[in-house]
Amino acid sequence: MENKVSLVTGAAKGIGSAIALRLARDGYDVAINYHSRPQDAEKIKRTIESYGRRAMTVYADMASLTDIRVMYDEVLSAFGHVDLVVNNAGISSEVYFLDASEEDFDRMTAIDWKGLYFSSQAAARSMIDRNIKGVIINISSNQTEGCWPRATIYGPTKAAVSKFTKNAAMELSLYGIRMVAVAPGYTDVGWEKGDIRLEAASRLPFRRFATMDEIASLVSYAASDEAAYMTGNTILMDGGATLPVVAANDFV
């Protein structure tokens, strides 16, 4: 029996790398997409191979439809099929609404939304062609539920991802393909002690950020047969960050 194959975009670092490693431990062969960190991607590849799984690195700028198509051609040539795609690649540049430029808008929506859209399309077409009842998981954000400053591009882009997941899941159900979105909140992606962003942890209900492994575990579950009746959902995992009107924890 062939091993299941996964492709994780933006897998050279951060949450994407944790997802790639978790899927390898779950028994998947893994294609590791990267854009600007080939050495980090190679390190993830070697770790996955140490688990006894096959792995490959594959370059693509997720803002480029040409790159996306070449990426899928390379993965399918190497592995023959793909059972699971995790669309994780994204950028979250912060810019105030009144200062935002067309370049800011185009770059963020091209990677976080257009790239995810056409990666999903390529994944679904490959699954349908091979009669694979696969899974596509899109990484969204708790910004679909709450509002933060400097996020008038990023937040609506992630809202588009969650809405797209619903619509595409409805169409893909005809082929037995599931699509799910996972929406993390604050996640510790390896920021150094003293980073000002870490100060937000004290204002969260659990007073800490998610770990990358916790997000990877949720992706693992959503991809598994245990979640076989789940499609079209956006699963929020933000430690209750969007529960309070003002996350001050004064009631404790």
Enumerate the active-site residues: 154
* Interatomic CA distance for residues 202 and 22, integer angstroms: 28
> Could you tell me the CA-to-CA distances from 249 to 14, 32, 148, 202, 246 in Å, in that order?
28, 40, 18, 9, 8
Is the separation of the CB atoms in 182 and 218 below 8 Å? yes
Is the separation of the CB atoms in 4 and 204 below 8 Å? no
Residue 147: how many other CB atoms lie within 10 Å: 9
- The token duo for 129 is 């062609």
Which amino acid would we find at residue 166?
A: K
- The token duo for 241 is 């960050």
